[in-house]
Structure 1
Amino acid sequence: MALTKILAVDDEPFNLEIIEEILESLDFELKVATSGPECLDMVEEYMPQVILLDVSMPQMNGYEVCKNLKSNPNTAHIIVMFVSARGTVEERMEGYSVGAEDYIVKPFGHNELKSKLNNLSQVLREKESLEKQVEAATSTAFNAMANSSEMGQIVNYVENIGFINDPQTLGKALVSCLQSFDLQSNVEFRYDNNIDHFALHGVCSPIVIELFEMLKNKGRLHEFSHRILVNYEFISLLILNMPDHDPDKHGRIRDHACFIVSVTEQQLRAILTKQMLESQQEKLNSVASAVHSKFHGLISLLNDNRKNNEKVFKQLQEDLEVRIPTMGLDEDQEIFIYKKVDETIQKSIAREESVQQVKAAFAEIEQDLSLLLKS
């Protein structure tokens, strides 16, 4: 479902005019409201897909309007993007705590707003296409866990991830595990210059991604409203619906979440290490194959040289046996020539022994390479 209907809410007519001007060239249906109560009066009838909601308004500020929208089952699904002159971490966290999906800081440019709306349009399309698939997958993935204790679910999860060999499957397994505790969660993996996001419905909202980026280096644990953010070096986890009504369960879930992220990070490290070793093994195999080919090429060349030498000496001996008796040499001269030829042949035999030593050395090197590859 592409984004087509937008409601802009701001008590300043000038700001609404700017938004109308920016969206004029886009294929969006736009309606405006000048106050929070007016927004709530018209929203169910108009039913926009996205609300651009000003934070600072009289009578009812944007946070209050958003709470009303998200508490109403008929409007809870509508994406809310806050529009504010301030964009601190605290303000963004406050916006997210009341249920907003995105945040834009005034003054903003034409391209910035268009880009954010295009991203939200993509989020709507992906949610629609993935929702049924994810619901079907998550209902069966951890069926055994659903009937066991919390610790039993964790033990099953730890055992299962030991068989996972890629980060994508691991991220999906983590989200499914948390769903078995009735927890809605978003996850970020950071590894090898990659950033992957996982959520119950397939995609994380832009404001969640911003929170991950802003808070990933701010400590191990953050709690705000009924949400909790757990940070490790490679993994961040955001749980959206902590059980605040039950302090004991809240504490258990918080401890479970930290432990689950910890063991998941260790498995992610193991996966990355295995991938690195497999890559190195492939390179080593390639090098060993090249060395093996060159060794056999050299040995073949040495064998060819040996055969050629044998032919030369054999031909020389045959020629001498024919020619020397006809040359009129005395016996001492003939003996001298035969002696010189014999010395030359013996030197050649000595070189042949060196060739055999080279072959033996090559064989030892190949054996060492073979043992190295096996280890």
Structure 2
Amino acid sequence: METILIIDDDTLVQKLLARLLQEHYQVSLAGSGEQGLELVEQIKPNIILLDIEMPGMNGYEVCAALRRIPCCATVPVIFLSSRSSVKERLKGYEVGGDDYLPKPFEEKELLAKVKLLVEYSVERQQLKACADSAQATAVEAMATSFELGKSVRFVEQSYFSKGCDQLAAQLLNFCSDLELSAALMIKTRRGPHFYSSTQGSAAPLEQEILALLHSNQRFVDFGQRTQVNFKQVALLVKNMPKLNSSRYGRIKDVLPFVLGAADAKTRVLDAERALGVQRAELGASIATVNMSLETLSEAFNRSLEAVSSTMSALIAQLSFELRNMGMDADQEEWVLDKVEAAASQISECIEGNVNAERVLADVLSLLKKITSEQDRILRESLKSDSLLEHNSAQDIELF
């Protein structure tokens, strides 16, 4: 049942109004403006009937004071007065009155005006509730849009991270944009790296907590803290808004999306670094092989020249000496054939070594080609697209 507050110093008028209204409304009475102002915050009336001519505060002063009270700023006020001039009515409207009823008043007119303003008051309260709900929904939508925009921006920026330190700085900046204080662990082949949004590295105790709670469990909640775990990345948020359930839920929705991207980028950075180390080691090995091959080739060529020279000298000497050994022609020819056959075998062995040298040279050439291709792939994978990099620096707005 709607509540009506009657503020009038005339007890007879109070009783008359109460008799007319109490059948349909809950009626409260105040004999002065000061008393009415004391009652109004307690009963929170739906409508106020206010006499103008009263000792102490008059009706205009009371109405102006009512409009300064938050719970009564929009409560309909009907002025009651024996004065009904245009000037009096205008003054009533100026201080916030909604209607003016001259004394003596007609019963039907009073009931009609009260009914109309009560309905108006109820409708206005309903509209205000709808407006408050719509405003809350709009604020929630804008907050969600802001957080999602920051998340997408982080993912785009992470594409261009050159190392774990830069990726960590981007992730902690994202947390700062969401007013979150956090500590971060990034695991690589070289071991874990720790970071903090309030200092360069996480405190020793934070490092222990990050390592201890890093598991297959996605969320680990304790007090106002929440740790979000991925294989390569773990984030410890130290000031989760537990008292704001809506924002708490949004943050828990956003963080896995962001950390999933950071986790994937960490694996890429780790692989790129390992590939770079491997490429450097392979390059050093190729240089060593190339140097050894050149040394071997030079030694082989010198040996080949020495063998050829020695064999030529041997055959010439044998041809000369055989004439003085008293051998017949067949014996001389047999000896020379054996020597030439041996020389031919030596030449075949030398030719085989030349072929082996060519094979080694081909292998070296192939290794150089593989290294060059690996280097090209690595450079291209680390290369930033200038257009995308420029766009990623812009704020993202979602509507």
TM-score normalised per structure 2? 0.50
% identical equivalent positions: 21
State the alpha-carbon separation in 2 of the partners of residues 250 and 277 from structure 1: 40
Deviation, structure 1 residue 174: 1.0
Among candidates 122, 147, 152, match of residue 149 of structure 2 = 152
Secondary structure at 2:239 match in 1 = coil
1:68 match? none
Taking a change above 3 Å as real, the CA distance of residues 257 and 321 of structure 1, as seen in their structure-2 partners, is same
Residues 33-44 of structure 1: pairs in structure 2 closer than 5 A: none
2:348 match? 350
State the alpha-carbon separation in 2 of the partners of residues 339 and 194 from structure 1: 72
Amino acid of the residue matched to residue 184 of structure 2?
V
Deviations 1:85-138 (A, max 9, x none): xxxxxxxxxxxxxxxxxxxxxxxxxxxxxxxxxxxxxxxxxxxxxxxxxxxxxx
Amino acid of the residue matched to residue 295 of structure 2?
G
Matched, 1:313 2:311: yes
Taking a change above 3 Å as real, the CA distance of residues 193 and 308 of structure 1, as seen in their structure-2 partners, is closer
- Tell me the matched-pair count: 228
Runs of 4+ in 1 over 6 A off after TM superposition: none
Amino acid of the residue matched to residue 345 of structure 2?
K
Residues 286-305 of structure 1: pairs in structure 2 closer than 5 A: 286-305=284-303
State the alpha-carbon separation in 2 of the partners of residues 355 and 214 from structure 1: 61
2:174 match? 177
State the alpha-carbon separation in 2 of the partners of residues 206 and 360 from structure 1: 59
State the alpha-carbon separation in 1 of the partners of residues 327 and 224 from structure 2: 115
CA contact (8 A) 2:216 2:230 kept: no
Among candidates 251, 258, 261, match of residue 259 of structure 2 = 261
Deviation, structure 1 residue 287: 3.0
Taking a change above 3 Å as real, the CA distance of residues 343 and 230 of structure 1, as seen in their structure-2 partners, is closer
State the alpha-carbon separation in 2 of the partners of residues 319 and 206 from structure 1: 87
Q: Which runs of 5+ in 2 are unaligned?
A: 1-144, 375-399
Among candidates 191, 195, 198, match of residue 192 of structure 2 = 195
TM-score normalised per structure 1? 0.52
Deviations 1:178-223 (A, max 9, x none): 1122222222234446333222221444553454344334832134
Secondary structure at 1:187 match in 2 = strand
Amino acid of the residue matched to residue 268 of structure 2?
A
Taking a change above 3 Å as real, the CA distance of residues 159 and 334 of structure 1, as seen in their structure-2 partners, is same
State the alpha-carbon separation in 1 of the partners of residues 173 and 321 from structure 2: 95
Deviation, structure 1 residue 283: 2.6
1:164 match? 161
Deviation, structure 1 residue 269: 1.6
Deviations 1:143-194 (A, max 9, x none): xxxxx93323222211221222322222222111111222222222344463
Matched, 1:212 2:214: no
Q: Which runs of 5+ in 1 are unaligned?
A: 1-147
State the alpha-carbon separation in 2 of the partners of residues 323 and 261 from structure 1: 90
Amino acid of the residue matched to residue 315 of structure 1?
A
Taking a change above 3 Å as real, the CA distance of residues 219 and 322 of structure 1, as seen in their structure-2 partners, is closer
What RMSD in Å do the two structures reach over aligned CA positions? 3.0
State the alpha-carbon separation in 2 of the partners of residues 208 and 347 from structure 1: 76
State the alpha-carbon separation in 2 of the partners of residues 332 and 206 from structure 1: 96
Taking a change above 3 Å as real, the CA distance of residues 205 and 316 of structure 1, as seen in their structure-2 partners, is closer
State the alpha-carbon separation in 1 of the partners of residues 175 and 306 from structure 2: 76
CA contact (8 A) 2:220 2:227 kept: yes
Among candidates 234, 237, 247, match of residue 236 of structure 1 = 234
Taking a change above 3 Å as real, the CA distance of residues 361 and 249 of structure 1, as seen in their structure-2 partners, is same
Taking a change above 3 Å as real, the CA distance of residues 363 and 213 of structure 1, as seen in their structure-2 partners, is closer
Taking a change above 3 Å as real, the CA distance of residues 344 and 181 of structure 1, as seen in their structure-2 partners, is same
Secondary structure at 2:194 match in 1 = strand
2:276 match? 278
